[in-house]
Amino acid sequence: MRLIALTLLTTGCIFWPKTTLEYRNDTLEVAVQSWTDAYNRDRAAQLQLLVHPDKRAAYNPKDKAFRADLERLMVQRYGLGHTVKVNASLEGREVTLWMHDGSRLEPRRTVWVRVEDHWWLWRS
């Protein structure tokens, strides 16, 4: 039995549960609504999957500051803004998320980018 466990550990054949994206992100409105839903439900792993792969390190579900914001704020509404270019090659759009902490609204400007028919959060 130990030999089997050792073999599985050394070859990487352990079955780790992987998180897969449960939300759609094929249009900007759907992607922002998905982010809002995941944020308000404290689904940090899903939020990380809605972020562009190059920017996911900033949205670590284990990060204390990120978790604190997630527990303190709720997205109440959002507004679509201007079209922008990111890194001179990616099509993007500004989106303002109106976050509520229980007493007041805080606007947060975010940038979403479109890559291969999917929209991803680039910066918040």
Which DSSP string corresponds to 33-55?
HHHHHHHHTT-HHHHHHTB-GGG
Please say if the pLDDT value at position 22 is more than 70: yes
pLDDT in tens, 54-99: 898 888 888 888 888 888 999 999 999 999 999 888 999 999 999 9
CATH assignment at residue 75: 3.10.450.50
Asked if 72 contacts 103 with a C-beta cutoff of 8 angstroms, the reply is no
User: Domain count of the chain?
Assistant: 1
Instruction: Domain of residue 48: give its range.
Output: 2-123
Look at strands 105-115 and 90-100 and give their pairing: antiparallel
Cα 69 to Cα 75, 96, 116: the distances in Å are 11, 16, 30
- Percentage of the residues of the chain whose pLDDT score is greater than 70: 85
